[in-house]
Amino acid sequence: MKIITDERCTSYSRPGHPERPSRISGTLARLRSQSEMALSWAEPTEAKDAPILRAHSPELLASLDKPYDFDADTPYYLEIAAHARRSVGGALEALKSARAGEPAFSLMRPPGHHATRNQAMGFCYLNSIAIATLEAHATGAKRVAVYDFDVHHGNGTEAILKDTPGAAFFSIHQFPCYPGTGSKNVGNNCFNFPVAPGTPRMEYRRILTEALEGLKRFEPDIIAVSAGFDAYARDPLANGTLEAEDYFWLGESFRKLGIPFFSILEGGYSDDLPELIFAYLKGIDGK
C-alpha cells in the first residue's frame, strides 16, 4: 500500500483551529513505527491548473493567493495555494497508484470535500476528490464512484459532480450538522444517506452498508474515497458513534469489492486519529 504525504503540509496552523498539523504528524509517527503492514511512500507534486479548472472557477483559484480569510472556519494562510495544490496532487498520485494496482492513501492537508466550484469553505480550499474524479474521466475511466464517509456532508463534491455523466456520489453523514446540506438525493447521481446525531453504532454501519450496496450497483471502474474519521464516537466536532473496528471494516469492505480504489484524508479531529487511520489501512491491507 502506498502512503502519499508531504510534511510541508504541517507548516501552517492557527491557534485553536481543529484542522491542525498534528493530524498529519501524529499519523506519520504511527505509520512509521508500525511493522504490521508493508508501506511504500511517495510525495505529491503541486497540481497544475488544468485538472483543477475542471472542478473550480479561475476566480476561486486566483483567490487562494489573496490574504483574506474565506470564512471563520477557513482562514488565509501564507502559501495556502501551494499547500492546497499539493493536497490535490496527493489525490492525483493516489489515482495513478490505484490504476496501477496498488491501493493508496493520500495523507495530506488541507482537506477538500466542502470546497465548491466558486467557494472555499469548511477548512477546504480545493476539492481534491472531485478534481481526481474528473481527472479519471478525462483519462479514460467510464464510471467513477465517490464514497464519502466523513461525518459532514461533502457539499462541494456534490455540487461539482451533480449530473456529471459516468460519475456517482455516495455520502453518509450526520444530519442535521454542518454544512446543513445532504438531507436528500440531488440530481440524477448524488445519493445522500443522512444519519441522525447519536445513531446507534450498528445502525450507522447498516447505513454505510446500504450506501456500499448502491455503489456496487453503479458498477464503477474506480472508486474515490473521501475518508473522514470524524464520525468516531469521541470526535469533538460531531455526534457520531463509530469505533476503530468500524474503520477497519470499511477498509476491508473496499478491498473485498475487487475494484481499484484510492482514499484521501478529509476530516477527523480527535487525538485518536492516528489509530483510526491505522485501523482503516489495516482493513485495506487485509493481512
Angstrom distance (rounded) from CA 106 to CA 108: 6
Angstrom distance (rounded) from CA 64 to CA 98: 29
Catalytic residues: 114
Residues 13-38: b if buried by 16+ CB within 10 A, e if exposed: eeeeeebbeebbebbbeebeeeeeee
Angstrom distance (rounded) from CA 195 to CA 176: 8
Question: Can you tell me whether residue 33 is helix, strand or coil?
Answer: helix
Half-sphere exposure of 274 (CA within 13 A, CB side): 15
Phi and psi (nearest 5°) for 211?
A: -65, -40
Angstrom distance (rounded) from CA 25 to CA 43: 15
First to last CA, the chain: 12
Compute the CA torsion angle 274, 278, 284, 286 (nearest 10 deg): -170
